Structures are given as C-alpha cells and as structure tokens.
Amino acid sequence: MSGLLHRAVLATRSTPVVGRLWRAAYRGAAASCAAGLASLPHVEAVVLHRGAAGAPDPGVSDLDVLLVRGSAASEPAWLARLAATKGRLKRAFPMLGDLWVAEPGELERYLRRGGLRAWEDRPGWRVLRGALPPAPPYAGDPLKRRLDAWTWAFIAHMELTRRLLRPAPDIPAKRDADLRKMHADCRRLSDFVLAAGSGPTARARPDGRGPRELWLDSARALAEASAVLAVEGAETERSFEPWPSPAGAAGAAEALCRNLRARGVVLDAPYHCWAVLEDGAGPERLWAASVAMAAEPALPGVPMALTASAW
C-alpha cells in the first residue's frame, strides 16, 4: 500500500471504530484473493494461515495463503497463470503475502512431519474456498517439537536483530510493531522449550519496553533455551570450529577478516556475521558484540552474537 495509506492504517489500527473498519477491509481482501486464486484450474482449496487467519493486525499482518492444487496441473503453464494472477491481486491488495502451493500428498507429508508451522498453525487455518482432508496425526516426537520451536525462536531473534541494528527504510510505526512481534515470538517459543509444555502459548500483548530492552530479553531467552537443548540429545550436537576461514574476503576486508578470525568471529557472507561467546556470556555482552559488528561497514549482513550452545 502507499506510504500515506500505510501510515494512516498504522496510526488508527488501535482505535475501536476505525480499527474494525481496517479489519473488515482485511477480510474483504482475503475473500477477493481467494476468489481470484480459486479461479485457476485444478485448485482444490484456498487456505488462509498464520497470523491473519485469526485476528489480523492492520498494517502489520500479511495475508499468507496456502493453495492446494491437483496433480494434473501442467507445471510451466499453470505456474505462469499463477504468477500473473498473484501479481494482479497483489497490486489490488498489497497486504497479500506469502503464497504456498502444495499437492494433496505434499500437504499430507508436511502436516505429518513438518516444522513448527505444521503443528502449531494448522488448528487455526481458515479454508476460504474448497475443502481440506482431515489433518493426519503429527509424527514428530517431543524433542523434535522443541527443536522446531527453538528454530523459530532463533529466526525471530535474528529478525529482531536485523530490524534493530541493520534496519531497512521503513515507516517507524511498522518497524516498532515488527520489533515487538519478533520479541514476543522469541519469548514465547523459548519459554515453550524451557517448559516442555504441550504447545507454545499464543503471542502476548506487545511489550512496552524499549527496543534495546526487548533485544536483551530476547537474547536471554534464546540463550537459556539453547543451553537446555544442547545437552538433551544427539540431534542438537554440532561440531564447532572456533577459527573458521572467512569466505569471500578480498582487498581491504581481508585484513579485517584475519583480525576478526583471531577473535572468534565467523563470517557467513552475505547474510550474517556471527560472534560466538561462551555460554556464560550475558545479554549485555551479546549486545555489545552485536553493536560493535554493526558499526563496522565491511561486515556483511546481520550482525549476531550468540552463545556457544546457540551456535
């Protein structure tokens, strides 16, 4: 959506009357997108999943859609039609987000053995068009479920770090909402790992603390969850080379990489720059290392300081 409209949505989404209007607009957009996608041949179901399937946060939530198609679809021609249809819908409804496509057999295998979204999100899916077969029983054991949750806690912390230390141009209110969403996800998923409960809790109301305090809390939660999982099974063990060779270093960056390698910093260009600290390192030390890396323009991607267990 345009910058002015996006700002207006973000500024008014929490007001009782206007907020209801924006949520109604999301429901209308979801119905229109479902109708457009269902018009494609061989489509058996159009499903809304993830956050917008429940209570969308206008201006923040995307409409993430799962499309179930029959196996008779001709791949190149069908995908070309899908791309054209999605492009048209995206121009009309900018909140349209990820589009997953699966055949029934693929969906069955995903729900049986997939990651966090396969077993946490499925009860909240909203079928907008067509019908889904009954979900198969989930085949993952309790340790896998906790590892699934840890993976997405890590991703949430990574995205929190990126938005805080290497932010892209964005509307301040959107950036703030994203920071709080990432913190809430890291916190609740780390708590699930620590508690070994039946399932992660729902995302809590946004925390009112400042961005730095949210990051420190997220880092603390991830470190605690990582330390617990690191001793619980062979699935979590990883060999760790303390001084790996940097990849892709050249020119002026080469000397910097040699210096960083001696300090235990790992370069994973172009996506991340990692600093691995001992498990006893507290959130303040992790924060200081992340800030120091973010201040160095020669380092690529998202600067992340992790404990050894998290690494």
Contact assessment for residue 92 and residue 127, using Cβ atoms and an 8 Å cutoff: no
Q: Which of 21-30, 56-65, 171-180, 252-261 has the highest mean pLDDT?
A: 21-30
Domain 3-130 has CATH 3.30.460: yes
pLDDT for the residue numbered 28 = 92
Domain borders along the chain are 3-130, 142-237+250-307
pLDDT for the residue numbered 180 = 92
143 — pLDDT class (breaks 50, 70, 90): confident
Which of 153, 207, 176 is closest to 60 using CA atoms? 176
The four Cα atoms 185, 187, 188, 191 give a dihedral, to 10 degrees, of: 150
Summarize pLDDT for 97-119 with one digit per residue, the tens.
Answer: 999 999 999 999 999 999 898 88
The whole-model pTM stands at 0.76
The larger pLDDT score, comparing residue 16 to residue 283, is at 283
Rounded-to-integer distance, Cα 288 and Cα 9, Å:
35
pLDDT for the residue numbered 240 = 36
Mean of the pLDDT values across residues 229-256? 54
Rounded-to-integer distance, Cα 51 and Cα 121, Å:
9
